[in-house]
Homo-oligomer: A and B are copies of this chain.
Amino acid sequence: MSDNRQIVIREVPDGPLRPDHYGEKAVAIPEPADGEVLVQTRAITIGAGQRAGLQGSASYAGAAQADVVMGGTGVGRVVASNHPGFAIGDAAMGMTGWQEYAALPGDSLTGVDGDLEPELLLGPLGTNGLTAYFGLLDVGDPQADETVVVSAAAGSVGHTVGQIAKIRGARVVGVAGSDAKCSLLTDELGFDASVNYKSDDFRGDFKAATPDRIDVYFDNTGGDVLGSALFRMNARGRIVCCGVVSQYDTANPGPGPRGIPGLLVNNRVRMQGFLVFDYEDRYADARTQMSEWLRSGELRPQTTAYDGLEAAPQAFVDLLAGATVGTTVVRIAD
């Protein structure tokens, strides 16, 4: 059979990620073993959290190793199957990694609607969207008229969090890293306010944007934004700990925010980490709800798309630099 192009980790980064931390390799297309399915990857998505998996020590994303195929979620079509649940031509989503073909246990794959664009399957209907859905609704539990603040608000998870919070009747404030992103949030996605965390007076702007303080803070960043939010929480506020993008792209994360745990005590704040994988038995219901919101136009997904497997390392670097908006997708085959 012809070649299977792969992007492999060449070197585990000890500072900011560069494209040359990756290399390209071509191997034979694998034969699916018993119970496995051979998937031709159509597109992959990249999430900032994957950077945590490149830090040498294990995180929820596992530990990085040089010379292995970079991991990640993709959608593709079945080209061979030794699993009763999948037939040639089916569309499937799973941990394809950054490669053109992947032989994966059929039990680890999700059958999806092949008529839907990969951007939808990997965005609002994929891990990003489900993360927003369960983190906001289950962990944050916003009520109508409460104030919800989300960081990395123009990102893959954040832009969905804010829109779901609006659907639930909350007042929504997004924190993002450029004026263009901030405008997108308020002008296109229905956020009530937005704050550029690179502003000279971020703390002042943040305070002005949260006159009724904060009931739910959905944290994708940690660091300074978390530190500021801690000082603005209302009594019985909830902080949803989803990601730590401010600390991924470094080998030496800084100390935690001041005021922990004192501010949690004074304001009876609940701060809770979660992983979307714990909600697997409710994915189907969540996808049904998200699909309805997509149809009604209440949820408007955003995507930054790259073409070609070889673009994946640069896409990841761009994502970490804050140069992408919404779900970052790399298209590999039609």
Write the residues of chain A forming the contact surface with B, with a CB cutoff of 8 angstroms: 52, 59-60, 219, 222, 226, 239, 241-244, 247, 253-275, 278
Contacts and interface: CB of A to CB of B under 8 A. Distances in A.
Contacts of A255: 255-258
A241 B222 contact: no
A44 B265 CA distance: 24
B278 A273 contact: no
Nearest to A239: B261
A266 B60 contact: yes
Contact of A260 (B60, B260, B266, B270): B260
Select the residue from A261, A263, A268, A271 with max chain B CB neighbours within 10 A.
Answer: A261
Contact of A265 (B265, B267, B270, B274): B274
For the complex of A and B, the 6 pairs showing the least CB-CB separation, nearest first, are: A256-B256, A264-B273, A256-B260, A255-B255, A265-B273, A241-B261
Contacts of A257: 255-256, 260
Contacts of A226: 261
B244 A265 contact: yes
Contact of A244 (B60, B254, B262): B262
Contact of A261 (B258, B261, B271): B271
Contacts of A271: 261, 264, 270-272
Given A256-B256, A257-B260, A270-B272, 12 more contacts: A60-B265, A222-B262, A241-B265, A242-B265, A256-B258, A265-B273, A266-B275, A268-B272, A268-B274, A269-B272, A271-B271, A272-B272
A52 B266 CA distance: 10
Contact of A268 (B52, B259, B263, B278): B278
A275 B264 CA distance: 10
A269 B270 CA distance: 10
